[in-house]
Amino acid sequence: MSPVVVLLGLLGFVGLAAVSLLKLSSKPLVIKRNGRKKRKFIIGGNWKCAAGAMKSAELTQMLNNGSVPENVEVFVAPSSPFIGSVASTLRGDVAVAAQDCGANEKLGAYTGEAFPTMLTDAGCEWAIVGHSERRQLQNESSALVAKKAKNALDNGLGVVVCIGETKEERDAGKLQKVLLDDQMRALVKCIGKETGVWDDVVIAYEPVWAIGTGVTATPNDAQETHALIRDWIGKNVSDVVKANIRIQYGGSVKGANASELAKCPDIDGFLVGSASLKTDFLDIIANTSCCIDEGPVRPKAVVEMSKLVRTISSPDKI
């Protein structure tokens, strides 16, 4: 048998083993902290439509040269044209996310859409869906966002589901109606209540009035809303999911306010926008790590396998 054939066979076996390990490791782990079940803190950087090829490479290098403590989980979401190049050069302990995911249930004639398996092939472990900018600018309904979430989950991606209210809705006392009766209820209706499904779900609460404005909800306000979301999940999904679900806060998070927000008992992470395009993202990670207890870590073998799978699946590496 040709040595080349043998080598390709070995690479295929290693790749399949790596994917299996990644699927096992992608589920949030439950730990004890301060006598309560808590979730590993997860920080995501959403680069939006703000980083071209050169900037994406610079940010990747910044992360590769920086420190990522083991008690926080980190992912970044490049623009879709640069997912492959970022995934193939990024350190193994930082995951890659897509900024959106198609709702189409199969590959085919869906111009402009990205089917979930395309995203996993490119190196993604997560997909962000329902960001307020897509809900507003693309008129995405809560039903469509929920369908995208289910599609991502059904095809091997973890999903970060964004929810949030505008200032007008908050001032009018419609926070619960918007967040829970509309956005969260649509999600539950679509993906169901099975605990195993929710293991791969992160909720990102982003008050629309605080995104990119420099205005941040006070820690008390953020905690109150996160607790409201978690209690609703307990009543409408299950107590197990309520205990395990990770709820990120997003809205002008920066290094200067990260530690105070991270101390809130129902805030389990951040979804960071503009600050993720600067070295301040490393400050957010460091300041958060310093004020939370040690959490579960991804085994080193899994981190190395993650890097290997990205390299093998990247077209420019074949």
Dist CA 142 CA 148 (whole Å): 10
Dist CA 44 CA 27 (whole Å): 16
CB 236 within 8 A of CB 188: yes
Specify the residue for token string 């389990």: 268
For 227, the token pair is: 């607790």
Contact residues for 102 (Cβ-Cβ < 8 A; gap 6+): 110, 113, 114, 115, 116, 148, 151
Q: What's the Cα-to-Cα distance from 204 to each of 52, 248, 301, rounded to whole Å?
A: 25, 4, 29
* Residues marked as catalytic: 131, 206
Cα-based angle 254, 74, 261 (whole degrees, multiple of 5): 35
